[in-house]
A and B are shown apart, each in its own frame.
Chain A
Amino acid sequence: MDEERVGFLAPYRVLDLTDEKGLLCAKTLADLGADVIKIEPPGGCSSRKIGPFYKDIPQPEKSLFWFAYNANKRGITLNVECEDGREIFKKLVTTADIVIESFPPGSMKTRGLGYDDLCRIKPDIILTSITPFGQDGPYKNFQASDLVCWSMGGFAYLTGDSDRPPVQVSFPQAYLAGANEATTATMVALYHREISGEGQHVDVSIQASVAKNMMNAPFFWEAAGVNVRRAGPFRIGLSIATGQKVIWKCKDGEISFFFWGGKSGARTNRALTEYMEEDGTAPTSMKEMEWETFDMASATEELFKEFNHHMGKFFQAHTKKELFQRAMKENMTLYPVQTTADITADTQLQERDYWEEVEHSELEERLLYPNPPFFLSEELRVQKRRAPLIGEHNEEVYRGELGISREEMIKLQELGAI
């Protein structure tokens, strides 16, 4: 590349062969300065078909899903299904530090591109494989979807109303959890390579990534024979027996609030009681409560029922904004359930320069993208570029870097390799 690379990972090159299961993995490495080359099959990656789309036009160059998870990458088309394509891929591997793929287990090997094959070309290469269930085991060849991984990983059972089927998040989260875990896994392997000179194969399971998100939930089984179960707007797993209402309707949406006992909850509980008193809706049980010594574990269900009844009515008489402004003033732990519109307008993000405008010359437009979730000094920040168009950097990579002649490129195009 012509420009000087900056960022923590500036010296490294990553080849990204993934689909929707892994795009976020290399995207995060690109945000940290790595030179990421997204390799798509001729015609474009299947994830370009995933919406939402720019102005709702369902075209491969207008997928907002693609935009979001491929920014800062370069893009080439290459058909690794054919011999000529594989030869070019191998040439690229000699220039790379990391290869990330999300094909079914064994497919890379069948193509002659398994970890051992890549090692022969580049002995210290790191190969990260992201699959629904991992490279080995009885379910390794199972057909999967985000919902299947979410369910097999155990999170579905914890999610949704207790009187209806378990649910996923409507913007699915299982593949993203896997890709997110894969980034950390790849960094662990890269650190090892820096110290020892040794590369390795990193086997990431999306199912296990989802299970990890469950935190303490599975332990209730081994410790007490209890399967923690979904409870809608109630919080579970606080103790085995009780649930606590967390999501509340308010005038124009919802808020998140729950009681916390002892000193740590006293400030919030007292502030809420005072707020309710101003409306004349605080019950005596709240007004007379000694919040400093309020013990969640010994409070009766009747007491919570009474609190919930009065609080429910109180919240419904106020807007999200009113409630949150009061919370900010009193430093109460009460937050709005934000919509994407609320988030877009949030001054907290604006003050931290979270959004960055990126030029989309092909759309004659500039779009806002989220910056990395960590604030770094100026010299380490990577200048954002939009996601690549299909084959946008073919010329730059094939001719400029691999020295393939124009005639050869035409031939390879005719063979369907690039």
Chain B
Amino acid sequence: MEEEIFQGLKVLDFSWAIAGPWTVKYLADHGATVIHVETVHHPDIIRAGPPFKDDKPGVDSSIYWVNYHCNKYGLSLNMSHPRAREIIKKLVSWADVIVENFSPGVMQRWGVSYEEVREIKPDIIMLSSSQLGQTGPLATMRGTGIQLTAYTGFNRLTGWEDREPSVLYGGFTDCPAARFGATVLIAGLLYRRRTGKGMYIDLSQYEAGLHLLAPVLMDYQVNGRIAMRRGNRHQYAAPHGVYPSRGDDSWCAITVSTDEQWKALCRAMGDPAWSKESRFSTFPNRKDNEDELDRLISEWTVTLTPKEAMFKLQEAGVPAGVVQKGEDLYNDPQLKQFGYFWEVDHPVIGKHRLESHAFNLSKTPRKLRMPAPRLGEHTEYVCCQVLKLTDEEFVDLLADGVFE
């Protein structure tokens, strides 16, 4: 078998919900050995997240959870048990990296703070990813990515000016948090290779999200302008929007940023008489008459399916794309070619196509080695094979309820 990138890298994974598991996913899918720790007393909320196999909730039947935990070993460990310490010490000695995304204070309560793990393993790298960071007056505020997306300013910028803002599906801030998290973690590993030094990384998901809004934050600072949502309106493009197409709730996105693209759009529509009117002849004119422009374009798009509109416009050289639904993504020949979805065969769920990554490496592709673990699936394997407990030690701890 070919070597994988992170082969031999040992990750102790306390992550839950989305941001933490997504961070670890980059390592797990490229060969790291990951031990994921959870307890039957408080299963990860995502294990209760839909969809489920046959729509029946169950701790091992959430497709949502399985998506983020492939290629990992699952260890069940009651961190609050007085004897959990015996296992934690061995796990920390084993690990190169610890990842966690609990509220600040939880790891300390369990005796797994950076100060404590560093005593056991001086060059360990520990990443704590939390909503608002480990310090500051709001550090211990509870919440999820859904509320953090509001706090980070994304909701204010999403939807229609005459209505209340829209939700961004899932927890939008989890996405940059995971990407920045994995980036700094790997950068830290390279630094450790060079210097032998471990480190603690305190990542704020709020601060990660704000990087995706940096220019509008500067706009307020310099120009005093408070950014606002405006549907699909765009400063430099008209027409620019999502247009109704033939079929149930079907839409096609169109962007026209240059006069050439405008001419191409007119050609694709069959050069209707209205398109020659002076009120649409230049970008400023189109911008001034945008509502009317959108209405007239819609009269044309509504006669076509979104796919027909897309192909017709692309052929003419106009940026256009189907507003794809879940079904469309699974059938998209482009995503298929890219290998975006990969099929996982899970003992409870069966076969299901899950998300992999949005990049392909030419020489060391990602690999699906095993499906996500059932809760506690590898407890015995981890204890006896990895941590080298004797059978007697394992059974003793098991009887004591340490592995619940």
Contacts and interface: CB of A to CB of B under 8 A. Distances in A.
Contact of B167 (A181, A192, A224, A232): A232
B222 A170 contact: no
B184 interface: yes
Contacts of A342: 153
B164 interface: yes
Contacts of B243: 165
Contacts of B206: 348-349, 373
B231 to A, nearest CB: 6
| Most chain B beta-carbon contacts within 10 A, residue among A143, A150, A182 | A143
B146 A173 contact: no
Contacts of A180: 175-176, 179-180, 212
A354 B166 CA distance: 27
Given A9-B190, A221-B327, A178 B358 contact: yes
Interface stretch (B69-77, B90-98, B250-258): B250-258
Given A200-B364, A340-B227, A374 B204 contact: yes
A50 B63 CA distance: 41
B157 A171 contact: yes
Contact of B334 (A134, A143, A204): A134
A373 B135 CA distance: 13
B39 interface: no
A120 B141 CA distance: 53
Contacts of A166: 242, 251, 323
Interface string B295-324: 000000000000000000010011111111
Given A154-B324, A154-B326, A348-B138, A235 B212 contact: no
B166 A194 contact: no
Interface stretch (B44-52, B275-283, B368-376, B378-386): B44-52
Contacts of B231: 160, 164-165, 167, 170
Interface string A249-267: 1000011111000001000
A194 B232 contact: no
B203 A374 contact: yes
A222 B353 contact: yes
B334 A237 contact: no
A93 interface: no
Nearest to A341: B226
Interface on chain A toward B: helix, strand, loop, or mixed SS? mixed
Contacts of B335: 207-208, 211
B214 A152 contact: no
A167 B136 contact: no
Given A217-B169, A240-B50, A375-B135, A32 B187 contact: yes
A92 interface: no
B128 to A, nearest CB: 10
Given A64-B215, A344-B221, A167 B232 contact: yes
Contacts of A148: 253, 255, 319-321
A208 B175 CA distance: 13
Contacts of A154: 324-326, 328-329
Contacts of B165: 233, 247, 254, 337
Given A148-B320, A331-B142, A336-B150, A202 B358 contact: no
A215 B18 contact: yes
B179 A139 contact: no
Contact of B150 (A176, A247, A341): A247
Interface stretch (B81-89, B233-241, B285-293, B395-403): B233-241
B169 A215 contact: yes
Query: For this complex, into which size category does the number of interface residues on chain B fall?
Result: 35 or more
Contact of B170 (A50, A214, A338): A214
Contacts of A231: 167
Interface residues on A, range: 35 or more
Contacts of B213: 171, 340
A196 B353 CA distance: 32
A211 B329 contact: yes
B190 A138 contact: no
A246 interface: yes
B134 to A, nearest CB: 7
A96 B354 CA distance: 36
Nearest to B7: A195
Contacts of A146: 255
Contacts of A45: none
Given A247-B164, A333-B142, A219 B354 contact: yes
A102 interface: no
Interface in A295-347: 327-328, 331-344, 347
A211 B159 contact: no
A47 to B, nearest CB: 11
B113 interface: no
A371 B50 CA distance: 36
A52 B218 contact: yes
A161 interface: yes
A50 to B, nearest CB: 8
A182 B361 CA distance: 11
A147 B234 contact: yes
A147 B207 contact: no
Nearest to B366: A188
A165 B232 CA distance: 9
Contacts of A218: 326, 329-330, 355
A246 B167 contact: yes
Nearest to B169: A158
B361 A348 contact: no
A371 to B, nearest CB: 8
Contacts of B242: 147, 151, 156, 165-167
Given A24-B211, A220-B51, A64 B218 contact: yes
Contacts of B237: 145
B364 to A, nearest CB: 6
A344 B153 CA distance: 11
A256 B174 CA distance: 16
A11 interface: yes
A160 B218 contact: no
Contacts of A155: 169
16 contacts: A52-B225, A136-B338, A151-B251, A171-B216, A184-B183, A188-B5, A192-B361, A206-B358, A219-B63, A222-B330, A223-B63, A254-B165, A337-B156, A344-B217, A352-B207, A375-B201
The 9 closest A-B pairs by CB, nearest first: A256-B150, A137-B337, A145-B255, A221-B326, A373-B207, A208-B358, A185-B359, A8-B187, A223-B51
